[in-house]
Structure formats: structure tokens, C-alpha cells
Amino acid sequence: MNLTDLRRLGCPTCGRPHDLLVLFDHLGDAWATERWARVTCPGCDERCELAFDGTEVAIGFVRGALRPRFEPSMRIRQPGLRVTAAPDGMLIELLNRRWVLDRKLPDPQPL
């Protein structure tokens, strides 16, 4: 895989598309057990979240206080994407780059 195979996601606030490498460079904390990560849009500086499922990544918002749920605005498949989640954080790998996210956000609590 090379850079020409890199997919783009549009910010759910401003709509500006960014390739995954740019978005991953703006990642923050994670809900590792849910495979969600907070990201700040490099275009408008608004916060949103990414959700990972195999080679699929979605952008959107985590909503709800008691039972948070992810609401996607766009979803793509990215060949070569690897995400490993553990109780203490997440490891994201793409195109020989790695991002390590600490689990600093509380996990959603069941009712």
C-alpha cells in the first residue's frame, strides 16, 4: 500500500476532508474498550470522534451521558489499517506509522 491508496474522511462539523494520516496526527484520548478515539479537526479545530472496526474507520460524535453511543457521519474502509485495543489504550498502525493513545476517557457504564 502507498499514499495514493489513502482514504479521506470529512469532518462532521465543517465537512472538510482529511486523509487518515492527518486525522491520526490530531488524535487525543481514547475509549479503548469501545475502540473510539477523540480527534480535533485540523480544519476547524472542532472536536469529534473516530470509531474503529477492523479496517473500517468512521468519523462522528459520541453522544449520551449515561449510555454513550457513537453516531457516525461517514464511514470508510482503509486497507492496511491495524488497530489494537487494550484496557490501557490503543495502538493504531498505517503505512509504517504508529499512534499510541492512552485510555484517559472513562468507559461507558452499563445501566
Mean per-residue pLDDT of the chain: 89
Question: Could you give the CA distance from residue 80 to residue 93 in angstroms, rounded to a whole number?
Answer: 8
DSSP state of 78: -
Which tens digit of pLDDT belongs to each residue from 50-103? 999 999 999 999 998 778 899 999 999 999 999 998 888 899 999 999 999 987
Q: What's this model's pTM, rounded to 2 decimal places?
A: 0.88
What type of residue is 23?
L
- Please, are residues 98 and 90 in contact by the beta-carbon 8 Å criterion? no
Whether 14 has a pLDDT exceeding 50, the answer reads yes
Q: How far is CA 78 from CA 9, 46, 50, 75, 104, in A?
A: 11, 23, 13, 10, 26
Burial label for 3, CB within 10 Å (0-12, 13-18, 19+), is exposed
pLDDT of residue 110: 46
